[in-house]
A and B are shown apart, each in its own frame.
Chain A
């Protein structure tokens, strides 16, 4: 459109309403999201480096961050494996109630986290439906870090499935036929032809599940047991600091989490940019 060297802010259009639509968007975005987030960052910056590091370097904070990361990594990994399997089964095979199963995948998005939290706790408590079987094996799930992993696996379940599904559906079957005619076994075709091209989608889903899990609160706090240094996740520690009216403590920990979230967002965007270059589609 613009042949000139210096592009104007907006390219000309006959459609009306640009000014008011963009103006409203910017005011609303700033008021609801940007200014409150900036205020929080400003507040944590006001603490000064020494105070900030004293709070973040506190053993209890570090234990919480380590736990949040560890449990989230584990849950996202479980979801990566089962997510690919689920996407594969839902796209490639037909079986009774396949559509219902496909619709059910989104349940963790739709079910309020508090409801998921109490339901999972009831199931995995030592006297619960699943918990009593695990108890006979000597395995305690509820009120331990394993319970946290279970809750995070639940809420992260849809991410990998939903990012892999469309890519798998669009996958060119001719590549598989070519591999087969060239003498590849089915196993070789799956692991060396299909899975590599699903990789960006798997990574994107993994990163999305991870990002969601690190910040998750509602579904975890019921099952976690919430013992400091053992089963206390980072978002819960923010809430505890806030309830103690320790605003500085809450803000500093929140700033660290925000930095982690932004890095995750950056990583997801990088994966998608790489995927677009390499495979011609988003992850």
Chain B
């Protein structure tokens, strides 16, 4: 960060003399480029965000609260929270286990395993839902057996949870693996040689070393889990009050031309996105060393 600040030429051009006169653009070019960038961001990012909140409050504060406290909306909020509360811990445990195996040990097929873990990110969300319909739906491989035993997975909450786990699968693992590889095994070996057992080593040595990256991964995982639309849309069946998550509820309201209500529920999701971004930026700024993958793309 300090290096970065040193390299940035002062746009005002008044204070400290510019160290890199020959290697920077003229003031006019700089201003034009900054203006284009700011305009692009305003047009593509700020305006949609502003539109969500403007439309949400178009009908007044009372209509807003009526829309988000209506029974179907509350059921959707409850389901979204439930799904995230199951999917995120599952991927958290998986992420830690995968990172432990991949980062702390040398074995054959490691890079293949790492590629496979990232696989869900390159699969269309619609396919992520479809695969479970093909497995657990009425015409699916396990469909007849499941219905004979009265178990419903597709078009029910378990299916939604599975699809959500699929799309958020790599988040925690991919934050932990590079960081734990960087940290090596020295700390753990020292702890073991001093008489700690495996669990103690993990809890008191490894975990403190990775806690910020873990939090970072959980944060991103949670945002995606609560906001996932495509995969959940395919497998949920969109039964109002039963298998409707918040993003699906937004879609239903919108398609019924209940625009204010749709945007009211959408504003809650937008708020979640803003809080996620704020915490993410804070973690990157305050604990940059504890997050190996900070600033890397997804």
State the A residues within 8 Å of B (CB). Answer: 1, 7, 9-11, 13-18, 20-22, 24-25, 28-29, 32-37, 39-40, 43, 82, 85-86, 88-95, 99, 101, 103-116, 118-120, 122-123, 128-130, 153-154, 157-159, 162-163, 165-166, 169, 173, 176-177, 180-181, 186, 189, 205, 208, 211, 214-218, 222, 235, 238-239, 242, 245, 247, 250-251, 254, 257-258, 261-262, 264-265, 269
The answer to whether A158 and B277 touch (CB under 8 A), given A86-B37, A215-B124, A251-B130, is: no
- Chain A residues within 8 Å of B295, by CB: 162, 165-166
Considering the chains assembled together, what is the distance between the CA atoms of A257 and B266 in angstroms? Answer: 29
A-B contact pairs, 23 of them (CB 8 A): A14-B193, A15-B105, A17-B100, A18-B107, A29-B94, A29-B113, A32-B166, A104-B46, A109-B223, A110-B277, A111-B273, A115-B269, A116-B48, A118-B254, A157-B45, A158-B297, A165-B295, A166-B296, A215-B123, A217-B230, A217-B233, A254-B124, A265-B122
Considering the chains assembled together, what is the distance between the CA atoms of A105 and B40 in angstroms? Answer: 11
- Option from A17, A112, A129 in Cβ contact (under 8 Å) with B247: A112
Instruction: Decide if B125 touches A218 in the complex (CB within 8 Å).
Output: yes
The answer to whether A25 and B229 touch (CB under 8 A), given A18-B105, A101-B38, is: no
- In this assembly, does B239 line the interface, its C-beta being within 8 Å of a C-beta of chain A? no
Residue in chain A with minimal CB distance to B1: A169
Considering the chains assembled together, what is the distance between the CA atoms of A82 and B43 in angstroms? Answer: 13
Residue in chain B with minimal CB distance to A265: B122
3 closest pairs, A vs B, by CB? Answer: A215-B124, A112-B227, A162-B297
| Stretch binding the partner chain, chosen from B28-36, B62-70, B144-152, B207-215 | B28-36
Instruction: Decide if A95 touches B11 in the complex (CB within 8 Å).
Output: yes
B97 to A: closest C-beta gap in Å: 5
Instruction: Decide if B250 touches A118 in the complex (CB within 8 Å).
Output: yes
- Chain A residues within 8 Å of B46, by CB: 104
Instruction: Decide if A94 touches B8 in the complex (CB within 8 Å).
Output: yes
Interface string of B1-21 (1 = CB under 8 A from A): 000110111110000000010
Interface residues of B in 249-298 (CB under 8 A from A): 250-251, 254, 259, 262-263, 266, 269-270, 272-274, 276-278, 280-281, 295-298
Instruction: Decide if A173 touches B20 in the complex (CB within 8 Å).
Output: yes
Instruction: Decide if A89 touches B37 in the complex (CB within 8 Å).
Output: yes
Considering the chains assembled together, what is the distance between the CA atoms of A166 and B284 in angstroms? Answer: 14
Considering the chains assembled together, what is the distance between the CA atoms of A34 and B137 in angstroms? Answer: 18
The total of interchain contacts (Cβ-Cβ below 8 angstroms) comes to 319
The answer to whether A37 and B123 touch (CB under 8 A), given A114-B247, A118-B266, A129-B51, is: yes
Instruction: Decide if B34 touches A115 in the complex (CB within 8 Å).
Output: no
Size band of the interface chain B makes with A: 35 or more
A200 to B: closest C-beta gap in Å: 14
- In this assembly, does B61 line the interface, its C-beta being within 8 Å of a C-beta of chain A? no
Instruction: Decide if A181 touches B298 in the complex (CB within 8 Å).
Output: no
- In this assembly, does B116 line the interface, its C-beta being within 8 Å of a C-beta of chain A? yes
B143 to A: closest C-beta gap in Å: 11
Considering the chains assembled together, what is the distance between the CA atoms of A136 and B25 in angstroms? Answer: 37
- Option from A95, A112, A123, A215 in Cβ contact (under 8 Å) with B127: A215
Considering the chains assembled together, what is the distance between the CA atoms of A230 and B107 in angstroms? Answer: 50
Instruction: Decide if B277 touches A104 in the complex (CB within 8 Å).
Output: yes
